[in-house]
Every structure is written in structure tokens, then in C-alpha cells.
Amino acid sequence: MAFPASSKDRQIRVLIVDDSAFMRRAIERLLSQDPRVTVVGSAGDGMEGVKRALELRPDVITMDVEMPRMDGVTAVSEIMQAIPTPIVMVSTLTSEGAATAIRALEAGAVECIGKPSGVSTDLVNVGEKLVEAVERASVARVRRHRISLVPPRPAAPLTAHPGGITGGRMPAHNLLVVGSSTGGPPALTQVIPHLPADLMAAVIVVQHMPAGFTGALARRLDSLSPLAVAEAVEGEPVVNGRVYLAPGDYHLTVTKDKRIHLDQSPTVHGVRPSVDITLFSVTEVFGRAASVAILTGMGKDGAEGAARLEAAGGKVITQDEATCVVYGMPRVATERAQRPTQVPLDQVAPALLKTLPAMRLSR
């Protein structure tokens, strides 16, 4: 993944917050291998982390999820109110840990990665991902007042279907794609829950996120949305009224017979899943019947795919700079597209709906 040129030449001061002394030392060793990163301090729990953040004013904080006295989610909330700072959550990959990390992202954290196990190969692997996450976080725009979450809304009742678990939904003739990266999870809570239950389209979401976290993100979006949201499954049909979230570490494409295909072919722009990979297949299958919204994120993933989709008659929507945590992906997509519609985050869902025919899902 490409970083802004200016970020490669400056030091990034990092505060480590974790209740394990072993893990604090491990994270410090991993970060210190990059000459751009300087660890300026550490803390053993969330309460001390808030105090040290106020004292040290770091550029980035790495934050454990489960800690005594004050957990990571509470600490993130406190820090974002007192001294907004980019925070990377370092979480265990248990179901509970991943769900808590998603709540931390909603509270203001900008990235999450899996905690290293202590095995040497895992430490090296996670070390690279941790440095990249800290680098991305260092250029994130964070705010004192976070956007409030929409309340959960009841989903439309689904009917039994003899052909499988499609709930009686019709095969999709229209498709909406949403691509996002850094800052994406809380942004998605401002888009997906605002799509109606009677949507005459399917929705695919590609969020740059490690394996182990996308399931928790899907469950969180599902709890907020009138549409059914789940991690995509190999071979399932693309039907109206469903939101398919690309699983972490898998590219998602749509086959000619409108089914989901997942694979682990090489990364694109350093990421997997890639928005571009999804859009290339969507353009071939749906063409002018598809639209894409590119949300906050670093790099250029999604820009080429958006341009191809537009050339085939599809519509391109991009999030504006003022509401982005990182104005990278939307900026490049706006530059590459010929007729993009750029809107604030709270207008992305309405803009997507305007691209669809004036129909609703038959029930």
C-alpha cells in the first residue's frame, strides 16, 4: 500500500498501551525495527494510557482491548474527548475480542490488527502489519466529536425459500458496491443502515480489514441495519436486499451467473480484499446496473475499478475530504472518474439510492 511521500520522512511517536509487560516489549521491538517509528512511552492499562497520552502527546497510540481498571474501548473514548489521537487497536482474534475492537473503532480508533501470538514467524508477520497500521494511522484525521451512531432498525421479515437461504429474495439485477479502508467501519455505520429493507438491489462491501475482524463488523452492521448483513460465503447467490461483506484476506468477485466467489490470489495495492478486484468483475457482470461509493481510506484501491465501471455506464460516488478520516481512496477515485458525485458521508446512502431505478423489493 502506498503512503504519502511526506509521511516517509518524518518520525512517528508512539505510545503503547497493554496490560501485558511481555506484549509491551514485543510491540516495542516490532515497531523499533522501523527507523521512522519512535516509541515514546508505555502504559499498563487504559487509565494509565489516558494519563500518558495527555503527558506525551504521541502521534499514534497502540491500544490493547481487554485491560484492568479501564478497558480499551473506554480509554479510546476518553482520549478522543480529551486529546484526539489516532489509535490502533491490537486485539486477540477471539469472537469477543474482535467484537470489542469494532466497538473501539466506533469510539474513534482508526485501525485494528490481531495481537501476535509470540511465535517468531507470527511476530514477524504481525510486525509488518503493525508498522503499516501505525503509518496509516499517523496521517489520519481524528476529531473530538465522533459522528453519532444510527439506532438499530427492524429488518423486513424474510420468507422461506426452497432453493436455499435467500429468504425468497429475487436475483439482483442492480448492485451497489461500497469500498473503504482506514476509518471505514464507523463510516459504514453511516451508510449501510440507511439503505431500506425493500432495496431492489444487492450490496457488496469491501473493507480493508484483517481476517478475524470482518465477521464482527458484519454482525455489528447487521444489528444496525434493516438489510441482512453477513460475511460473504463462497458460491452463494447475489440477491436483492442482502449485504455481502468481503471476508478479511479474501478477494471477492461476482461470477457470470451472479454468485459470490472468494479467493486468495495475490494482494492488489498491498491489500486483500481489494475494491478494484471486486469492481473489475462487477463491471463485467452488471455494467451500467451497478454503482460504487468509495469511502475514507489511504491509497488508490478502487480508483481504477470505479473508472472502468463508469466507462461501462455505472455511477461513481466518492466521500468528500471534510468527512474523511484519510482522504486518499476517494481523492484518487474522484480524479480518475469522469463524472463522479462527491458528497459528505451522511449523503452517501441517499446518493447511492438515487442511482437505482424507482422500484422497491417485492414481498
The reported pLDDT for the residue numbered 275 is 98
Q: How far apart are CA 102 and CA 222, in angstroms?
A: 13
Span 235-276, pLDDT tens digits: 999 999 999 999 999 999 999 999 999 999 999 999 999 999
Mean pLDDT in the chain? Answer: 89
d(CA 242, CA 175): 10
Taking residues 308-332, report their average pLDDT: 97
Mean pLDDT of 135-155: 68
Q: What whole-number distance in Å separates Cα of residue 52 and Cα of residue 69?
A: 15
pTM (2 d.p.): 0.88
For 324, residues 6+ apart whose C-beta sits below 8 A from its C-beta are 141, 183, 295, 296, 330, 345
Is a pLDDT exceeding 50 seen at residue 165?
no
CA distance linking residue 129 with residue 82, whole number of Å: 28
Query: For residue 9, what pLDDT is reported?
Result: 65
Catalytic residues: 181, 208, 301
Res. 314: pLDDT tops 70: yes
- pLDDT band, residue 31 (cuts 50/70/90): very high
* The pLDDT value given to residue 361: 45
- What domains does the chain contain, in order, with CATH numbers? 9-138 (3.40.50.2300), 175-354 (3.40.50.180)
Q: What's the confidence (pLDDT) of residue 257?
A: 96
